[in-house]
């Protein structure tokens, strides 16, 4: 078999497995087997770039960086929907329809998915582009990001029209949302507020590899095109399903407005059993002929109507306000409620965010309060029922001291939250910081989990993360649920973390506002903790992407004697606190201030190696050519449009060899 047909066959197979897994929810091979086949295809494609296909299953992992999203005018305008909130509203709508069309009217009832609307254009069965709704007339092209969503087919099956648009909603299923938030909380990042905003925010991320990591789905509900050979909305849904799209099965064809009411009532009650959030249902006149007769108002189709569910509310008693201390010392007031059933779960607690919120609500212990579950997973308190306030109730006094260590709290100007400044002695801060230190993206210490950290601190075996490095097996074995084997693993895991490179150690230290990216920037610029420690605020802000807020936080961290002592100890244990000599040897400033665009296929180095070479030598890599580009490094098969652009802007084009000479 020729290489090309092997590649095509693998692509076809992987497509089918993707479909089985994501659309049918019925995989027929193991994840491992799938990964192996994908790897095989990746290798072949890398060796044979002449068979590149932008819609290959390998393109799902992302990696494209988009700086500016292009604006694209929709072929068919994306209208909004009229809203209704009651049976009467729906009956009025029916009356209006019956005046304008003859004959019986059937309705397709669908769920109203709560996410971000998306228009996909397919040509010859391939995804051509994906565009956000924007203002309805034009939106942003986000194809690279949408391609990473597994439920968006890159190649259709069956008998599809040559060209058409299909619309859907990009949603983040609740389980995936919760998992993402657990990971964020573990690294002390602010959790996302709700799935809808997270889904729409994801579409505008610049790095499509980041989008690929998010468990987004695309649920389809409408096809647009010329001469499609479809006569009803419901038939459209069935066809879309046949072509490989994810069209939820809850859609229902009904014959009367009474049946619409039944559908509405059913889903108002059962919506919490769905894997994703909906905020209502959408009712559509089924016949496309009748739809044509009805037409559009300035804003929405006359043939469709959204029915919005009310956000569910209940009232209950606020028993007590307690206060939580986070890893960075931030205080969060929590409302402890008399348990109450709401939106399918029992609610016991709600966040009160900060002192301002308490003041705004004028809320007191003992109050009867209204709790609502809207788009947010965490319920919120909407209002107090002042008619029920007990006569002996007392105004809420915000705490002045840390509930855990009794230190006086501080509130930095311009910030909403109070902080406990007892950075190195306040137990939840101590535990939280060590938990961050050992986490996967930081020191990634195998054999040590968050609970064990808490145990070690509570038993007085460690006081900060540097103490991990002189733990012994004998100290650990007596701990609860610790067998000899796991104690050994733990100590080995700690030992192994001494190899973790400097940039990750820097992230692991848990300096406020120093996330992964900032840590990388700082490590690259200062090269060692000693240099960083002596950097002034003024010096720090000269580093690319480091602002005042970060600079001050870094300076403050190293101003603390405790912290300097901890760093000394880490150093004495052999933790990597500078860029390794080997890495340093490969780094220069030769390309400082120069910006490169890399295009085509190269002989002696891979494209990624080439990019790394540029960055290691102080240059910048960007994805598109502009007047700011200093050089284009061109390999074999450089895109013709890139070449024309470079030539028009008079930007020198370097061959691979010429570039490597530049470095020597």
Contact predicate 548/554, CB 8 Å = no
Binding segment toward Zn ion, per CB under 5 A, in 258-266, 301-309, 415-423, 476-484: 415-423
Residue 128 parent element (H or E):
strand 126-132
Write down the catalytic residue from 99, 112, 360, 664.
Answer: 112
Answer with the entry of Zn ion, ligand AMP, none that 422 interacts with (C-beta below 5 to 8 A by kind).
Zn ion
Residue 270 burial (10 A CB sphere; 0-12, 13-18, 19+): exposed
Q: Any catalytic annotation for residue 664?
A: no
The residue within the footprint of ligand AMP, chosen from 16, 20, 80, 655 (CB under 6 A), is 80
Q: Does 399 bind Zn ion (CB under 5 A)?
A: no
127 and 153 in contact (C-beta within 8 Å)? yes
Residue 281 CB, shortest distance to ligand AMP, in Å, is: 8
Query: Among Zn ion, ligand AMP, none, what binds residue 404 when CB lies within 5 to 8 Å by partner kind?
Result: Zn ion
- Pick between residue 44 and residue 454 the one whose CB is nearest to Zn ion: 454
Establish if 113 lies at the interface with ligand AMP (CB under 6 A): yes
Query: Cβ of residue 107: shortest distance to ligand AMP, in angstroms?
Result: 12
Q: From Zn ion, ligand AMP, none, which one binds at residue 245 (CB under 5 to 8 Å depending on kind)?
A: none
* Contact window for ligand AMP (CB under 6 A) among 106-114, 371-379, 514-522, 577-585: 106-114
Torsion-angle region of 332 (φ positive above 0: left; ψ -120 to 50: alpha; else: beta): beta
User: Do the bridges between strand 620-621 and strand 252-254 make them parallel or antiparallel, or are there none, so unpaired?
Assistant: unpaired
CB of 357 to ligand AMP, least distance (A): 28
The three-state (H, E, C) secondary structure of 487-546, written as one string:
HHHHHHHHHHHHHCCHHHHHHHCCCCCCCHHHHHHHHHHHCEHHHHHCCCHHHHCCCCCC
From the list 202, 200, 180, the residue with the least C-alpha distance to 190 is 180
Nearer to Zn ion, 48 or 425 (CB): 425
Residue 277, interface with ligand AMP (CB under 6 A)? no
* Binds ligand AMP by CB under 6 A, chosen from 141, 169, 372, 656: 169
- Residues 77, 82, 83, 84, Cα dihedral to 10°: -150
**Is residue 117 close enough to count as binding ligand AMP by CB under 6 A?**
yes
81 binds ligand AMP (CB under 6 A): yes
User: What is the 8-class DSSP label of residue 410?
Assistant: B
Q: Is 417 in the site for ligand AMP (CB under 6 A)?
A: no
Q: Which residue is nearest to ligand AMP (CB)?
A: 117
| Dihedral sign for Cα atoms in the order 135, 137, 143, 147 | positive
* Token pair for 80: 């909004």
Q: DSSP string covering 170-211, please?
A: EE--HHHHHHHHHHHHHTTPPPPS-HHHHHHHHHT-SBHHHH
Q: Which residues contact 455 (CB under 8 A, 6 or more apart)?
A: 479, 480
Least Cβ distance, residue 421 to Zn ion (angstroms): 8
Nearer to ligand AMP, 169 or 372 (CB): 169
Q: What is the dihedral of CA 273, 275, 276, 277, to 10 degrees?
A: 10
Q: State residue 16 phi and psi, 5-degree precision.
A: -65, -40
Count the residues of the shown chain that bind ligand AMP, applying the rule CB under 6 A: 11
User: What's the min distance (Å) between Cβ of 453 and Zn ion?
Assistant: 17
Select from 38, 172, 306, 431 the one that contacts ligand AMP (CB under 6 A): 306
Instruction: Give which of 364, 404, 359 is closest to 384, Cα–Cα.
Output: 364
Q: How far apart, in whole angstroms, are the C-alpha atoms of residue 165 and residue 163?
A: 7
Q: How many angstroms separate the CA atoms of 89 and 294, rounded?
A: 18
CB of residue 416 to Zn ion, shortest distance in Å: 18
> Which of 133, 214, 433, 504 touches ligand AMP by CB under 6 A?
133
Q: Report the residue from 7, 402, 443, 632 that binds Zn ion according to the rule CB under 5 A.
A: 402
Chain positions 256 to 285 lying near Zn ion, rule: CB under 5 A, are none
Do residues 166 and 240 make contact, with C-beta atoms less than 8 angstroms apart? yes
CB of 514 to Zn ion, least distance (A): 21
Contact residues toward ligand AMP (CB under 6 A) are 80-81, 110, 112-113, 117, 133, 169, 221, 282, 306
Query: Hey, which residues are catalytic here?
Result: 112
Contacts with Zn ion, residue ranges (CB under 5 A): 402, 404-405, 407, 420, 422, 426
């Amino acid at each position: 078999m020729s290489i090309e047909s092997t590649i095509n066959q693998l692509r076809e197979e992987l497509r089918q497995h993707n479909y089985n897994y994501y659309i049918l929810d019925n995989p027929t091979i193991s994840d491992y087997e799938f990964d192996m086949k994908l790897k095989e295809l990746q290798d072949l494609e890398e060796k044979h770039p002449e068979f590149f296909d932008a819609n290959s299953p390998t393109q799902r992992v992302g990696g494209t960086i988009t700086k500016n999203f292009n604006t694209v005018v929709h072929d068919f305008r994306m209208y909004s929907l009229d809203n209704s909130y009651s049976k009467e509203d729906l009956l009025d709508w029916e009356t209006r329809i019956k005046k304008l069309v003859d004959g019986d009217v059937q309705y397709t009832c669908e769920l109203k998915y709560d996410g971000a609307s998306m228009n996909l254009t397919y040509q010859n069965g391939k995804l051509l582009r994906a565009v956000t709704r924007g203002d309805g007339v034009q939106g942003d092209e986000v194809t690279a990001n949408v391609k990473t969503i597994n439920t968006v087919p890159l190649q259709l099956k069956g008998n599809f029209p040559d060209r058409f648009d299909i619309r859907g909603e990009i949603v983040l299923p609740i389980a995936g949302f919760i998992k993402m938030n657990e990971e964020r909380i573990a690294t002390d990042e602010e959790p996302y507020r709700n799935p809808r905003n997270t889904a729409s925010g994801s579409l505008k991320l610049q790095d499509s590899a980041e989008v690929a990591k998010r468990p987004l789905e695309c649920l389809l509900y409408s096809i647009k095109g010329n001469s499609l050979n479809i006569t009803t909305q419901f038939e459209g849904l069935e066809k879309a399903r046949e072509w490989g799209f994810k069209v939820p099965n809850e859609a229902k064809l009904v014959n009367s407005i009474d049946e619409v009411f039944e559908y509405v009532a059913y889903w108002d009650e059962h919506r919490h059993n769905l894997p994703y959030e909906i905020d209502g249902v959408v009712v559509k006149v089924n016949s496309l002929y009748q739809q044509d007769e009805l037409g559009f108002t300035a804003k929405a189709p006359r043939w469709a109507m959204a029915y919005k569910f009310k956000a569910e509310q209940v009232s209950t008693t606020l028993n007590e306000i307690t206060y939580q201390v986070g890893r960075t010392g931030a205080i969060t007031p929590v409302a402890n409620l008399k348990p109450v059933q709401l939106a399918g779960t029992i609610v016991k607690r709600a966040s009160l965010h900060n002192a301002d919120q308490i003041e705004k609500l004028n809320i007191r212990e003992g109050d009867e309060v209204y709790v609502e579950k809207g788009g947010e997973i965490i319920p919120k308190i909407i209002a107090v029922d002042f008619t029920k306030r007990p006569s002996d109730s007392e105004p809420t006094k915000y705490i002045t001291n840390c509930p855990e260590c009794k230190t006086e709290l501080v509130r930095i100007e311009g910030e909403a939250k109070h902080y406990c400044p007892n950075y190195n002695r306040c137990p939840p801060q101590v535990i939280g910081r060590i938990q961050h230190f050992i986490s996967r993206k930081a020191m990634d210490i195998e054999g040590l989990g968050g609970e064990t950290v808490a145990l070690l601190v509570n038993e007085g075996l460690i006081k900060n993360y540097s103490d991990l490095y002189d733990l012994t097996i004998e100290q650990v074995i007596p701990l609860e649920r610790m067998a000899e084997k796991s104690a050994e693993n733990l100590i080995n895991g700690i030992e192994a973390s001494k190899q973790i490179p400097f940039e990750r150690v820097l992230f692991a230290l848990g300096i406020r506002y120093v996330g992964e990216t900032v840590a990388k920037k700082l490590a690259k610029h200062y090269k060692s903790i000693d240099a960083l420690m002596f950097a002034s605020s003024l010096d720090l802000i000269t580093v690319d992407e480091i602002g005042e807020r970060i600079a001050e936080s870094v300076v403050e961290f190293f101003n603390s004697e405790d912290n300097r002592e901890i760093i000394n100890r880490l150093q004495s244990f052999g933790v990597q606190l500078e860029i390794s000599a080997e890495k340093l040897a490969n780094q220069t400033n030769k390309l400082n201030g120069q910006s490169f665009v890399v295009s085509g296929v190269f002989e002696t180095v891979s494209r990624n190696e080439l990019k790394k070479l540029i960055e290691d030598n102080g240059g910048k890599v960007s994805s598109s050519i502009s007047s700011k580009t200093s050089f284009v490094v061109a390999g074999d098969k450089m895109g013709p449009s890139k070449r024309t652009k470079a030539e028009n802007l008079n930007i020198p084009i370097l061959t691979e060899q010429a570039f490597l000479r530049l470095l020597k």
